[in-house]
Amino acid sequence: MRKLRLLLAAFALILFVSPAFAAKLKVVASFSILGDLALQIGGDRIDLRTLVRPNGDAHVFQPAPGDAKAVAQADIILLNGLGFEPWAERLIQSAAAKGRVVAVSESVKAHLFKAQFGTSVREAIDPHAWQDLRNGEIYSHNIAAALAAADKANSAFYEANAASYAGGLDKLDAEVRTAFAAIPADRRRVITSHDAFGYFGAAYAIEFIAPLGVSTEDQASAKGIARLIDQIRREHISAVFVENITDPRLITQIARETGAKIGGELFSDALSKSEGPAATYTEMFRHNVKALTAAMKAGL
């Protein structure tokens, strides 16, 4: 009997200290790219809910009651920041969230762009910082720091995962630079649906041109589209792409009127579903680079 009691006590101790049985950190990520980064760092130590799912458009997202409940119960709420989630502050307040809110873009050098506000033009912040892999490294370390602060028992686990993952992003960044270095500079011009690739363009010397602004809620003017069509014809821009989160009709119209070929689909603000070609952050980058370089080379 005494032996049985000792065995039961030992088993109870194992349940108490084992990470497999410990309460997981409740984490909410605002959109699919952050969700993947959180899983890469948090692994099986976190219980993750992603609000804007794969192929979803975070610019126009409307939270559901279940999202508010998840936010209310979360230990950590991961946001991109830089104005990317205009709905987040209202959701967090209405849910009376008590968890720590973390902007994972903290310490990123934000890009500014000229935007139309009514009749005036002024500078605004481009929120799509993850489109530079070096910023992806910053995101991963910021996520690890947030998880470690909330769950000190597993801090070494999170920090080791972040170091390993950031090292992989650094190698991928070098591969991307090598791939584009083989493309003549005058062929590194791309038409996309909305202006989500500013950081990508600055990092890898690609000129991205978009009929819409940085938000899919922006409206393209007839005059702006006409100028874009003239530019495509004049400069013989051959790489025209649709995005997984936007209506392809505008880009299809532009391609039809200019004779340019649609080079495929780019993933900008959201990952693909698990069976798709861009189910993770690194797969998204590899897919986009492969599609872009193929289209650029085909135009040679």
pLDDT digits (tens, 9 = 90+) for 113-167: 765 545 556 678 999 999 999 999 999 999 999 999 999 999 999 999 999 999 9
Could you tell me if residue 177 is inside a domain? no
Looking at the structure, tell me whether residues 144 and 245 fall in a common domain: no
Domain harbouring 18, CATH code: 3.40.50.1980
Compute the distance between CA of residue 21 and CA of residue 241 in angstroms, rounded to an integer.
47
**Domain boundary at 121, 136, 170, which?**
170
Looking at the structure, tell me whether residues 20 and 67 fall in a common domain: yes
Looking at the structure, tell me whether residues 76 and 165 fall in a common domain: yes
**Domain boundary at 129, 148, 170, which?**
170
Q: Are strands 111-117 and 120-126 parallel, antiparallel or unpaired?
A: antiparallel
Could you tell me if residue 178 is inside a domain? no
Could you tell me if residue 176 is inside a domain? no
Looking at the structure, tell me whether residues 162 and 61 fall in a common domain: yes
Among 281, 255, 9, CA closest to 143: 281
Which residues share a beta bridge with 78?
A: 29, 102
What pLDDT, on a 0 to 100 scale, did the predictor assign at position 217?
A: 45
Looking at the structure, tell me whether residues 189 and 160 fall in a common domain: no
Looking at the structure, tell me whether residues 98 and 240 fall in a common domain: no
What separation in angstroms does the CA of 17 have from each of 74, 153, 159, 300? 22, 10, 20, 61
**Domain boundary at 118, 147, 170, which?**
170
CB–CB of 239/296 below 8 Å?
yes
Compute the distance between CA of residue 163 and CA of residue 137 in angstroms, rounded to an integer.
9
Looking at the structure, tell me whether residues 100 and 246 fall in a common domain: no
Could you tell me if residue 128 is inside a domain? yes
| Domain that residue 245 falls in | 183-298
Q: Which two tokens stand for residue 228?
A: 């874009």
Number of structural domains found in the chain: 2
Looking at the structure, tell me whether residues 21 and 159 fall in a common domain: yes
Could you tell me if residue 222 is inside a domain? yes
What pLDDT, on a 0 to 100 scale, did the predictor assign at position 265?
A: 84
Compute the distance between CA of residue 100 and CA of residue 204 in angstroms, rounded to an integer.
34
Between these two residues, 234 and 61, which has the higher pLDDT value?
61
Could you tell me if residue 282 is inside a domain? yes
Looking at the structure, tell me whether residues 232 and 115 fall in a common domain: no
Which residues share a beta bridge with 122?
A: 115
What pLDDT, on a 0 to 100 scale, did the predictor assign at position 191?
A: 78
Residue 79, pLDDT above cutoff 60: yes
Looking at the structure, tell me whether residues 191 and 166 fall in a common domain: no
Looking at the structure, tell me whether residues 32 and 155 fall in a common domain: yes
Could you tell me if residue 175 is inside a domain? no
Predicted confidence band at 215 (pLDDT cuts at 50, 70, 90)?
very low
Residue 188, pLDDT above cutoff 60: yes
Could you tell me if residue 157 is inside a domain? yes
Sign, Cα dihedral of 225, 200, 217, 265: positive
Looking at the structure, tell me whether residues 145 and 208 fall in a common domain: no
